[in-house]
Amino acid sequence: MSEVATIWHFTRRRLSQAIEGLTDAQLNWRLLDGAHSIAEYLYHVAGVELYWAHHLGGWQPADDFEAGVLQCTRDSFLNDQLFPLPQARCTATDVGRALQIAYDALAPIIESPTPEQLAKPVRSPIGDPLDGREGLIRVAQHAAYHTGQIWLMRMHPQFPAG
């Protein structure tokens, strides 16, 4: 499983590079009306990682903030619900906190999964049945997908200057 952990660490490192130094205004800029902001993408990445930490490692939200981050797995991304966190939480500080919580929760699982975790049947956030191994493979590359979206937003001529 070391290859999966290596991919996850690489994609998380690239994500960190993509958001390094962004202001709150940049994190909240929208390419189009109704599109997600960078802050919302980051909460979604953290939420998906917490989803797998929850289902494979038993992680539980410690407070309303963590519960809201977990809801970002699906809400406004994979369903028609509103984004679950208030705009006031879409700051560099809070987004960074969410990403760190998710990192800390998922790292021990993705780095050293048990045979039981790898074999555990789980329904993915998009609804298909799979096992823990397949889930870890998916989550390992997930941040890369959204990192690409973030770079496209940053390259847009109307992206706010820092």
**pLDDT for position 47:** 99
pTM of the model: 0.97
Q: Is the pLDDT of residue 1 over 80?
A: no
Would you call 161 helix, strand, or coil by DSSP? coil
> What angle, rounded to 10 degrees, do the helices at 92-111 and 132-155 form?
150
In one-letter notation, the amino acid at residue 70 is L
Angle at Cα 50 formed by Cα 45 and Cα 52, nearest 5°? 100
- In degrees to the nearest 10, what's the CA dihedral of 49, 51, 56, 57? 80
pLDDT grade for 2, boundaries at 50, 70 and 90: confident
Ordered domains of the chain (ranges, CATH): 2-155 (1.20.120.450)
Query: Quick one: what percent of the chain has pLDDT higher than 70?
Result: 99
Band the pLDDT of 112: cuts 50, 70, 90: very high
Q: Give pLDDT, residue 55.
A: 99
pLDDT tens digits, residue range 4-38?
Answer: 999 999 999 999 999 999 999 999 999 999 999 99
How many angstroms separate the Cα of 55 from the Cα of each of 60, 76, 131?
A: 9, 21, 11
